[in-house]
Amino acid sequence: MTSIAPLLEVERLTIRFRHSEPVRDLSFRVHPGETVALVGESGSGKSLTALALMGLLPRGARAGAARLAFDGDDLRGLDLCAWRGVRGRQIAMVFQEPMTSLNPVLTVGRQITEAVRHHEGLSARAARVRAVELLDLVRIADPHRRVDDYPHRLSGGMRQRVMIAIAVACRPKLLIADEPTTALDVTIQAQVLDLLDQLRRDLSMGLILITHDLGVVGQWADRVVVMYAGGKVEEAQADALFGGPLHPYTRGLLAASPQIEGGRTYHDGPLREIPGSIASAAGEPGCGFAPRCAYVRPACRLAPPAVTEAAPGWLVACPVTRAQPQEASRVATGSL
């Protein structure tokens, strides 16, 4: 399990604004070639975490961490110049909105080559060849023609492919995809995620997939980090998590998603919602999920529950789950 050195190590990452702490003590690791999904609802701190990894936090936000290492190098305290060497080259990012993430006044080819020329100093002609290759790599039909198109001539799915081409242009070791398919319809979503998965394997990148779509997680992620109100509530291999979630929040999430089971589809299958909203976690000294939790214990409201290892590689921050460790370990080992 720990034989390979992790590509990215995040330990106790905390992001503070003046009056709030949207991310608290978040720890996770990404290994080379692995897809880790950060799952959580809106406001759980997923995107902020991604921005913190790129050193692109909004003004007024401060990040602190016990350890924030990429490929063995400490990312904490990097100055602007050092960050520029990391961004795009080592860690690249694909954003949620393909419609607005491309510069409307530059051609697609120009935007792809810009990154390559900036980081690798290629000549204009070599960069253009590379741009066509990259467009081909992300499976855009007719790349020779498309390379001279402006973004408004491309559909949403194609724009997201272009964004991915730009992101992988410098062969980063880690790709962060922040809800890459939220703005796309379902068939395009599958294409884009298949593409990301393919590129991850071909270029042996680590991939952080930020999403709130459990279907996406189930199909494409190797490991899942479930976030709630800025903290990690559960982390497990995707199979194990879907086989038997431990944390009450994860269980609620899975129960609230359409599942194909027993011949039922989301048309007639039951969908159970989690009562309350994530806003109730604000200012809670204990577990952020306590106000919405059906199994809440008095101790939960006093201090955040410790993260414990329910099974090898399966971390959960909930005392309630310790009642059934046997089942947990059975599911966990059975799926690996």
| Smallest distance from another protein to CB 26, Å | 19
Site for another protein in 95-114 (CB under 8 A): 95, 97, 100-106, 114
Determine if 31 is a binding residue for another protein (CB under 8 A).
yes
Beta strands 314-316; 308-311: pairing state: antiparallel
**Among residue numbers 258 through 277, which ones bind another protein (CB under 8 A)?**
259-261
Quote the least distance from Cβ 296 to another protein, whole Å.
27
Q: Is 241 exposed, middle or buried (0-12, 13-18, 19+ CB in 10 A)?
A: buried
Say which residues have a Cβ less than 8 Å from residue 320's Cβ, sequence separation at least 6.
248, 295, 297
Determine, following the binding rule CB under 8 A, whether residue 291 of this chain makes contact with another protein: no
Alpha carbon 249 to its chain's center:
18
Asked whether position 158 contacts another protein by CB under 8 A, the answer is yes
- When the beta carbons of 91 and 317 are compared against another protein, the nearer one is 91
| Residue selected from 115, 207, 227, 293 as contacting another protein according to rule CB under 8 A | 115
Residue whose CB is less far from another protein, 217 or 293: 217
Select 211 or 287, whichever has its Cβ closest to another protein.
Answer: 211
303 is an interface residue for another protein by CB under 8 A: no
Residue 3 phi/psi, 5-degree rounding, is -70, -35
Q: How many residues does the chain have?
A: 336
Which of 141/279 has CB closer to another protein?
141
118-157 residues near another protein, rule: CB under 8 A: 118-119, 139-142, 146, 150, 152-153, 155, 157
Using an 8 Å Cβ cutoff, are 207 and 221 in contact? no
Residues 73-92 close enough to bind another protein by CB under 8 A: 80, 83-89, 92
The type of residue at 66 is A
Q: Give least dist CB 9 to another protein, A.
A: 13
Closest CA to 242 of 252, 233, 254, 259: 254
Q: Please tell me whether residue 187 binds another protein under the rule CB under 8 A.
A: yes
**288 has which bridge partners?**
none
Residues 6+ apart with CB under 8 A from 115: 88, 166, 169, 170
Stretch that binds another protein, among 70-78, 120-128, 187-195, 314-322 (CB under 8 A): 187-195
243 binds another protein (CB under 8 A): yes
Concatenating the DSSP letter of every residue in 97-154 gives -TTTSS-TTS-HHHHHHHHHHHHH---HHHHHHHHHHHHHHTT-SSHHHHTT--GGGS
- 248 part of the interface to another protein, by CB under 8 A: no
Buried b (16+ CB within 10 A) or exposed e, 61-73: bebebeebbbbee
Strand, coil or helix: 38:
strand
Smallest separation (angstroms) from another protein to the CB of 259? 6
* Total residues interacting with another protein, rule: CB under 8 A: 74
Minimum separation from the CB atom of position 102 to another protein (A): 6
Q: Report the residue number, 35 or 44, with the smaller CB distance to another protein.
A: 35
| DSSP-derived secondary structure letter, 179 | S
Judged by CB under 8 A, does residue 17 bind another protein?
no
